[in-house]
Structure formats: C-alpha cells, structure tokens
Structure 1
Amino acid sequence: MRITAENRFKKLVVIGDRILIKPTKPDEKTASGLYLPPGVQEKEKVQQGYVIKTGPGYAIPVAIEEEPWKNEEDQVKYVPLQAKEGDLAIFLMSGATEVMYEDEKYFIVPQGAILMLEREEDL
C-alpha cells in the first residue's frame, strides 16, 4: 500500500481517551482570531494544535454474561470523546507526550489535558 497525504494516518491506532494533535506554529492565528500569546507558549505550560485522530473514548465496564450467541465484538462499549478531527485544541503540556511521525512533531494528549476546543461548525 502506497502512503499518500489522504491515508498517512490510517495505519495509526489511537488508544482509549488519547488524541493525536499536530501543534501549530507559535505565531499562528485561527480564522476566528484565537491564538496563544507568546508569553504563554514560551513557558510551555499550554500549547495549541489541530486534532488529527482520536481514540474510541473511555471504555465502559461490561458485566460478563453467559450468552454464547452474542458476538464477542459487542462486548466493549465506549463513551465517545468530545474532541473531533479538525478541532483546534488548547492543551496542557504536562499531560502531553511528544512523538515524531514521518519527520513531523505531534503530541499524544489524554482528553483530560485539553482545556478548550474550537470547532468550525455553523452555529
């Protein structure tokens, strides 16, 4: 399979409540005017970036039942995450893990470390 811009993240599987985020440039401003002041970013306590991929969410414990006719894939259920692909996320660096993928920097962040999301939707 040839890797293209459209499918390059397809083989990545984000686990649980984790979110893959591509950080923005320090002086990048969104169309609505949202950006982090340089003083905040220099301290590296808070960062912003775009959500690339999300995990399935928080797993819900399932009671084990003796029902042999049930498909085992139906056993695991998840509470979905608030973050969606394309959202701009403001997140705490203390909860983030930096990774390099295809020579680009990304962060893996648990949903609990995200402070705010900006979503481009019609209100």
Structure 2
Amino acid sequence: MQIKPLGKRVLIKPVKEAERTASGIYIPETAKEKKKQGIVVELGNVEEKELPVKKGDTILYAGYSSEELEVDGEKYLILDIKDVIAKIV
C-alpha cells in the first residue's frame, strides 16, 4: 500500500531513539527529548520547490504533533510541514 500525504504534509519513518547511553545507562521514556528524528518518505501534493525538505532527508520534528499509522508492519508518521523543526545535513 502506498500513502500520499495531502497538502503541505510529509510522511516520515521515525528513527528509533537510543534506549541506553554509550556507557550503558538506561534512558526511560519520560527522560527522552520531545524533539525527534525521522526520514522523509513521501511529500504532500505540492511542488517540491514549495517545501524545504525532499525525500530521503533526515529531519527533526516536534514530538507531539503527528498522526501515527502502520503500513505493512512499519510505523510511519504524517505531520504538517510547519512541525518540521530542522533538516539534518
């Protein structure tokens, strides 16, 4: 199944945050940062030049501003382009 976001939205695959630090200390969910990372999978139906990201970009996005969905056992998020905080270069 293919998902195509509408308008100025992006479909991303979230990057899982580390469960432990480099020294082995467990990080509980409540201590993790609210800003999260994801990889852009699909763009909404606007011209690419209108959006500051493109497919394959790794982005930071606000943690509570997305719609979760699962397709073929994979978790994805759809979020509005205004909720994208930064592009990791």
Same fold (TM over 0.5): yes
Is there any run of 5+ residues in structure 2 with no aligned partner, and where?
19-26
Q: CA–CA distance in 2 between the matches of 1:53 and 1:19?
A: 6
Please show how residues 1-123 of structure 1 align to structure 2 within 5 Å.
11-27=2-18, 42-43=31-32, 45-57=34-46, 80-119=50-89
Q: Using a 3 Å threshold, how does the CA distance of structure 1 residues 103 and 91 change in structure 2: closer, same or farther? A: same
- Give TM-score scaled by structure 2 length: 0.74
Percent identical: 28
**Aligned-pair CA distance for 1:118:** 2.0
CA drift of 1:83 comes to 1.3
Q: What is the deviation of 1:40?
A: 8.9
Moved more, 85-94 or 38-47: 38-47
Contact 2:59 2:85 in 1 (8 A): yes
Greater share of residues in strand: 2
Point out where structure 1 has 5 or more consecutive residues left out of the alignment. Answer: 1-7, 28-37, 58-76
Query: RMSD in angstroms over aligned alpha carbons?
Result: 2.7
The SS at the match of 1:52 is strand
| 1:43 to partner: Cα distance | 4.1
Q: Which runs of 4+ in 1 moved over 3 A?
A: 38-44
Asked which structure has the greater CA Rg, the reply is: 1
Equivalenced residue count is 81
* Matched residue type, 2:7: G
Mark the CA change 1:98 to 1:78 in structure 2 (over 3 Å): closer, same or farther. same
Tell me how far apart the structure 1 counterparts of residues 29 and 88 of structure 2 sit (CA, whole Å).
Answer: 18
Which whole-Å CA distance do the structure 1 matches of 2:75 and 2:84 have between them?
A: 18
Amino acid in structure 1 at the alignment position of 2:14:
P
54 and 41 in structure 1: CA distance in 2 versus 1, 3 angstrom threshold: farther
